[in-house]
Amino acid sequence: MRIPTARPRIATADTRAVPRFRQLITKTTDAHYGTAAHKSWAAEVKRRAGARCQYPSHKGDRLAPNGIADHVVERMDGGAATALENGMWMCRACHAQKSAQARANRDAPLSVNSLHPQWLEPSRIPLTIVCGPPASGKTTYAKRLGGKVIDLDDIAIRISGTPAYACSRDVLGAAIRQRNTALGNLAKPGTACASAVLIVSEPTAIKRQWWATKLKPQAVVVCETPDSVCLQRIEADPDRAAYRETLSGAVMRWWAEYTPRRGDQIVRCW
């Protein structure tokens, strides 16, 4: 005679694989990206770019029909959500690279030593940003505009007698701190000067847009002086004799990296 056994009241543990967490977690998406305003903005960014990646590494050379309309300055960093000048069409690989860098910049401690300080606020006085390669005429043009000129090279020379591109790390850090302090003062009430000019090299549209979004200048000027003219000026300038090789290389790199930006004011200083 068989004696029936009672069924255990405690369930046997399931030793099969635990479901992956990605099946249990729902990813949240910013509601803005589903709005008609964003979709219209993205479509126009793509149309203007011809569906080509505009990131500096590709400069429009790579067709990216399935790319992404990206904010040059991300919304959480203060970038305008639907301003066309804050839009750039990018392939997905470049978009991932830029997003990772933006996250790293946000996670980094705020520092007055940064070449692109995140804490900057719009200038309260009329500001013009002047960009271009070495020996393109940026300083001459800036002085013609009048007002306070903020130039990292000039500050480094005042500190040590050496331009920023040739000075020691300590001197460069001190020069950057002074420059950033001057830029921060532009946002404070009661600024003594009536207008100001910031000189930065910035060959890429994405960096010029960063400055434009942060400081809200009245104009961003690019000195599109040909590389041949810049090189001739460097060769003929005795004050640049010790740095000719460095400066000549910087000129060629600037033109290799240069990307136009809608809204820039182009001048030719030669």
| pLDDT above 90 (res 236) | yes
* 96 and 139 inside one domain: no
pLDDT at residue 27, as a whole number: 38
Predicted confidence (pLDDT) at residue 224 exceeds the cutoff of 70: yes
Same domain, yes or no: 61 and 159: no
pLDDT tier at 86, thresholds 50, 70, 90:
confident
pLDDT at 173 over 90: no
Provide mean pLDDT across the span 116-120. 89
Q: Do 96 and 131 share a domain, yes or no?
A: no
For residues 263 and 164, membership in a common domain is answered with yes
Would the pLDDT of 267 be above 90?
Answer: yes
Is residue 48, in this structure, part of any structural domain at all?
Answer: yes
Average of per-residue pLDDT across 55-71: 84
164 and 252 together in one domain? yes
DSSP per-residue codes, the chain: -PPPPPPPSSPPP--SPPPPGGGT-PPP--GGGGSHHHHHHHHHHHHHHTTB--STTTTT-SB-TT-EEEESS-GGGT--SS-GGGEEEE-HHHHHHHHHHHHHHHHSPP-TT-SS-TT----SS-EEEEE-STTSSHHHHHHHH-SEEEEHHHHHHHHHSS-TTTS-HHHHHHHHHHHHHHHHHTTSTT-SSS-EEEE----SHHHHHHHHHHH--SEEEEE---HHHHHHHHHH-GGGGGGHHHHHHHHHHHHHH----TTPEEE---
pLDDT of residue 8: 45
What confidence tier does 115 reach under pLDDT thresholds 50, 70, 90? confident
What's the confidence (pLDDT) of residue 166?
79
Residue 55 included in any domain: yes
CATH number at 138 reads 3.40.50.300
Averaged pLDDT of the chain: 83
Residue 256 has pLDDT above 90, yes or no: yes
Is pLDDT above 90 for 162?
no
Do 182 and 68 share a structural domain?
no
The answer to whether residue 157 is domain-embedded is yes
Task: Identify the top-confidence range among 161-175, 189-203, 206-220.
Answer: 206-220
The domain in which residue 193 lies consists of 127-267
Does residue 120 lie in a domain region?
Answer: no
Say yes or no: 173 and 254 in one domain: yes
User: How much is the average pLDDT of 35-63?
Assistant: 88
Asked if 134 and 66 sit in the same domain, the reply is no
